[in-house]
Amino acid sequence: MDNHFTITIHDDNGIKQVNLHQFVKSVLFYTIVFFGIIALIAVGTILYLDKEVSDIEAKRLEVKKAYDGLKNKNLTLKKEIEDTNTLLIAKKNELDSVSDSLSEIEILIGLTPVKSNSLQQRVDSAKQSSQHRATMLQLIPNGSPITYKGITSKFGWRIHPTLKKKEFHRGLDMRAKMNTPVYAPADGIVEWAGFHKSSGFGNLVIIQHSYGFRTNFGHLNKIVVKSRQFVKKGTLIAYTGNSGMSSGPHLHYEIRFLHQPINPYYFVKWSIKNYSEIFEKEKKIPWQSLITATAQLKVLNPTQTLP
């Protein structure tokens, strides 16, 4: 058998025949097969790489999405931290302001501010002290029983305006127009409410208070309470007048402790604002014993000030 084949070519010039040897044919065949395999490998490689690139791109997008999410969370967290810091600064300034205000309150009520104590400890101490002082001012006469317009006759020796002789004045004559309201200066029981001829005070109200204190209100025009009636601090008890041995409308006001007259002036001026002053100015009262006796008492809804 001939190891050749003939290629016939037809064109415009006629028919041409080319004879190729079988070797050339084999080379051409294997070359075509080789390049075919290369092409298949290339196509497969391209498809594989394309898939890998797609997977990598998908992972990149996923990582980018996660990164963006973390970035947004970080920004949110940063904003929350900034807001928290701003709030903490505001609260710190507020606490500093409260501490300063508490220091003023402590000084006002006679406490020495102790900066080493916690704010809660200082508040508790101030609260306890304030409650105790409110109790003292509720039970012991203080403040002016009438609208304060001055004093016409002080406590002590004087010439009696009607009898014209020297005598010891056991109270204060407080300036007041006719029918000025008179209020109880502390909680107590009305011991007397009516005309008192022997004393010369005319219409007289006597109130028995706690811990041995008693108050007298003389020369009244009208009395609005009755004997044995309980009155709270600030209760209207009478109206000023000119009854009894009086030279004109005013209020005769006495305070007694264990039946002994004491100067009412310091008690008229006594309030939460100058709470400790009376302890120095009025020496006849055993204040330390009173403070100890009332330390555990608490008056509900105390009267802040007289009307």
The residue ranges of every structural domain in the chain are 4-71, 141-280
On whether the pTM is more than 0.85, the answer is no
Fold type of domain 141-280? Glucose Permease (Domain IIA) (2.70.70)
Tell me which amino acid residue 158 is: R
pLDDT band at 212 (very low <50, low <70, confident <90, very high): very high
Cα distance between residue 130 and residue 103, in whole Å: 14
Percent of the chain scored above 70 by pLDDT? 84
Cβ density class 13-49: b for 16+ within 10 Å, e for less: eeeeeeeeeeeeeeeeeeeeeeeeeeeeeeeeeeeee
pLDDT band at 215 (very low <50, low <70, confident <90, very high): very high
For 187-209, what is the mean pLDDT?
96
Cα radius of gyration (the chain): 53
CB-side exposure of 146: number of CA atoms within 13 Å? 26
Name the least confident of 77-81, 89-93, 135-139, 172-176: 89-93
For 191-209, what is the mean pLDDT?
96
